[in-house]
Amino acid sequence: MAVTILKQVYAYTPNLVREWPVPTGTLEGTAVVAAGSNQPGVCITPEASVTKTKTLGSAYSITYPAGAVSQTPGNATVATDGTFAGPVVGATSATVKNTLVYIDNTGALTLTAGSNTKFGVVDSFLGKASSTDTAVKIGVFA
């Protein structure tokens, strides 16, 4: 599965954040769509079973749960709006703002419609987008 990890550019609305079922091991920043409704979102926490490890000095390490407190296993906290940047297949510096962006069945973002699901629109100004770093306003289909 081609996982698209995005970084936040413009804030999401806290009132619109929801807990969604996601595949085990899904990381924060992952582009996702809701089962059934195909609503786009970006995980702002990892799925509940994900752990992180910190090394303390040269002799010790600690592993801890990385999901949100009281998060249901198999779920992640998801932002359903805001602008996030990351790789978009087909985007270039000539990609115009408000160009539709889709998510394919592997989780990759793309400019190709085909049988892919609408995810949002390009939020980068002309000359700023690239295949490796394009700002995408999620959940908007201008």
Strand partners, 110: 89, 102
**Average pLDDT taken over every residue of the chain:** 92
At 31 the pLDDT is 96
pTM here is: 0.89
Least confident of 5-9, 19-23, 111-115, 138-142: 138-142
What residue spans of the chain are helical by DSSP H?
Answer: none
Is residue 2 over pLDDT 80? Answer: no
Going through 3-130 in order, the beta strands assigned E by DSSP cover 7-10, 18-21, 31-33, 40-43, 51-56, 60-65, 75-79, 83-86, 100-103, 109-110, 117-122
**Range 103-112 average pLDDT:** 94
At 36 the pLDDT is 87
% of the chain residues with pLDDT over 70: 98
Say how far apart CA 100 and CA 10 lie, in whole Å. 18
Helix (H, G, I), strand (E, B) or coil at 65: strand
Q: What are 44-82's pLDDT values in tens digits?
A: 999 989 989 999 888 899 998 888 888 889 999 999 999
At 109 the pLDDT is 96
